Structure 1
Amino acid sequence: MSSLSLRVLPDRFVVGHLPAATFPEDDEWVALVRAPEGLTVVAHASPFGRDGERWAGVYGDPHGLDVPGMLAAVVGPLAAAGVPVFVASTFHADLVLVPEDRLATAVDVLADAGHQVA
């Protein structure tokens, strides 16, 4: 996989699990995934009541769904460095979340892997 152009998003996020929900009560969510065990919600972190670990987002340039290895090129180096991730894939690209306190390490790891990170 060649070098990817990635950017760190200015927002911070929280990831939550709503076991009995079919839809969150507010519209502040970024991504929703429904699974048999409940609803996973990625939402913007806010100083006004969003509890939980804060995550930073790394997002790549748009790519086709038929391009193999795009996500692996990002999460592979992060996994090798012991950086946890949570991924929300879109039609155009992948939003890779890393714990906010590991962001600097993640950026260094991705740059060392040959990616351009802004």
Structure 2
Amino acid sequence: MDTFTLTLMPEALAVCRLPANAAVPDWAWRGPFQSVTRTGDELSIVCGHDAAPANGSRPGLRVDGPWRVFKLHGPFAFDVTGVVSTLTAPLAEAGVGVFVLSTYDTDWILVKEEQAPKAAGVLREAGHDVRAGA
């Protein structure tokens, strides 16, 4: 089994959903981590927890959080397989839900803030190197 190095970043994040045709709001770009993804079904935004508005404060807005993010140390070639499943399988077995994002260079595993210590322990028990971010 492959083992990986991850860093648990200190910032709290929010995962937000807006209607697919919504404009990207200014608050989406606030905070240390931002991800904006539009599909035909929705506009999903991950941003700083403090930047996100209150749940339901605008039509169709849903906000969930706080979340914490584990940064997987990459980069990885696109043909490398099983990276995410190697990390998420032990978390699933331990009852830790995840929200996964991928970028060109790496993957990001988000867990609910209250489950972050448990997730870090589970990942360590699975043989991964989990570090605290500054």
The root-mean-square deviation of aligned C-alpha atoms, in Å, is 1.7
- Per the normalisation by structure 1, the TM-score is 0.90
1:53 is the counterpart of 2:87:
no
1:38 is the counterpart of 2:42:
yes
The alignment partner of 1:105 has SS state of helix
Q: Is the 8 A contact 2:20 2:38 kept in 1?
A: no
Residue 44 of structure 1: how far off its partner (Å):
1.2
1:91 is the counterpart of 2:104:
yes
The C-alpha deviation readout for 1:25-54, integer Å capped at 9, x for no partner, is 1122611121222101111111x6644420
The alignment partner of 2:70 has SS state of strand
- Which blocks of at least 5 consecutive residues in structure 2 are unaligned? 55-63
Distance (Å, rounded) in 2 between the aligned partners of 1:22 and 1:42: 15
Which residue of structure 1 aligns with residue 60 of structure 2? none
Question: Would the alpha carbon gap of residues 9 and 110 (structure 1) be closer, same or farther in structure 2, given more than 3 Å must change?
Answer: same
Percent of paired sites with the same residue? 32
The alignment partner of 2:97 has SS state of coil
Spell out structure 1 runs of 4+ moving beyond 6 A.
Answer: none
The alignment partner of 2:118 has SS state of helix
Q: Is the 8 A contact 1:86 1:96 kept in 2?
A: yes
The alignment partner of 1:77 has SS state of helix
Higher strand proportion, which one?
1
**Count of aligned pairs:** 117
Partner of residue 75 from structure 1, selected from 88, 106, 121: 88
- Which blocks of at least 5 consecutive residues in structure 1 are unaligned? none
- Equivalent positions of 1:11-26 (< 5 A) are 11-26=11-26
Distance (Å, rounded) in 1 between the aligned partners of 2:85 and 2:125: 15
Which residue of structure 1 aligns with residue 124 of structure 2? 111
1:6 is the counterpart of 2:20:
no
